[in-house]
Structure 1
């Protein structure tokens, strides 16, 4: 079908053509606009959900992988290390007990074992010997006078029965006899005193033990003011004397075992605490623990030694040093909760041993404790825990 259209350059299209073509164009444009709006909404929804998933994935990717351990409870034998000196457990100083004089001979040397009462050194007693001899003679004279007085009294008693001697004469002779007997006792007492003084010139051991030092030589002039000539260890018993802080001293008990190693030696001696200092030095805040040791040549009084003391047992979680952190707020560890978030847990530490550090407060032992990398965590951080086997 052919249509003929007349176009007027100065006017609009004819009514038939312009009206039909305008409605169709408007409808098409509305449809296109609606399609574009729907496409934009779908794209926005898609990108919103995709962005949420990506954020979740990104957050999951940022969770730090940490190694955790469940420490449980371990029984640890507490130990305290101390240093000190070896000494005689009961040291006995021996000096001159008598008047003194010149030493004639020394019968023992340092390192010798002696018995109670054994003579260690002899002091010249020539003067004392003469005094003893003179007094012994006086005793004999007094005894002779006493015998004579007794004889005179006996004769007088026989004569008094016959009436030749009065009662007063008998009383006088009895008194003379008693005085003579008393003089005998006085003379014998003086003789005994001189003998005792002479005996004290011998320097003797007060008890059995080991001679530690000797400061006496033949020809030496000594007196009661000469000081210690011999020092002895009673029964050869030794000890180690160690100074400890009062906090450590409070953890020990009499009877606790100890391992003692003298300086320069590889031998270990078994000892036992026999005394804890009843007082604390106010300046150093330390006390002395005394460890009894058996005699041995390697234990030389005055030498240094190191002791490891048993301070009881404790049952608590034990962690390696890497798990325990500290800052200005104190000591703490990181614990991973059931939501896999790091939690700061304050703790109190105790013994340090080859097994690790004992945690005496803050943990039960059933928690998951961050073993390493705790310094890179903050409370509340999400983590991926890996239990150490």
Structure 2
């Protein structure tokens, strides 16, 4: 074993950077590889130093500790160092920086690798109770948090959701311009409470141009920027009415918006000037809902951009549906129109599709045909495509598409 005064170590990087981390929430694990390119074995002391060293955690080849001595690196070999950080809450509303060094002392040779972490305080909405969901002989705990809707959400700090945040019937959650909503894996927003018999609940999203409201996963590392399926959905439960979403960006979830059956003539959802993208499942799933959308873009969804399912009333004006999904093989079209479902007893139940109107819309994607019709003739199945650009296979039955360039109407 030699501990040469001139022994120099080499590193996989000179700086370990942690993207924005929410206070009190641990980071992902970063890896630093330390190489010994010398022809002899080397022993080195490794220490976390700096004012913020207590926030960082170090593990060297499975041994935890922020100050480790006589770490042996064989000649022409390497070791792995695993690093994490947790940010303490502070009074800052704006992001702040923690900076430290990982110091290597090999004889008289001192080298260091910089550690940089960006911290951000947040409003946390964490599941603190549960209800039981019984499915046959299976019972599942559903963890959620009842929101205090008396105070609108503001953009002073990000809002982080763990589990499901629930808007109780009779309450309205208002989310004002510029809010950033981060949802953990398997988390979502439920408008309505599945554990009460009272329907209702409303969400109002008040984004504006250049100060949108954003819904996305809570993994802020650059690798997760466009990864779908990081959180669940915004779910408008049965009976939820008069929901409005204006100037929002909804991305990287399973289902962007899931709107269930309305119990009266009030609209389930009005959505304007919004982008929904990178959904592992569906952009907008309507189930007997009443949805009106204008100037909205839905793109890159693993199944449907929009599923107008089990009937309902739908109006899309000046909307773009561009489904160029590239994470897996997609065999479902951008648009689904459907007016029935199969019950647990195997019977078919019809629900009227009162209207599905597409006005001045673009329906594009990677499939040869991007519209699917699933009709039961016993019920209403009304649709209109007026001055729309639609991706269709030229070999399709063109009877129903005869005047596609200008309009396509069936009533």
TM-score, scaled relative to structure 1: 0.20
Rg larger in 1 or in 2? 1
The structure richer in helix per residue is 1
The structure richer in strand per residue is 2
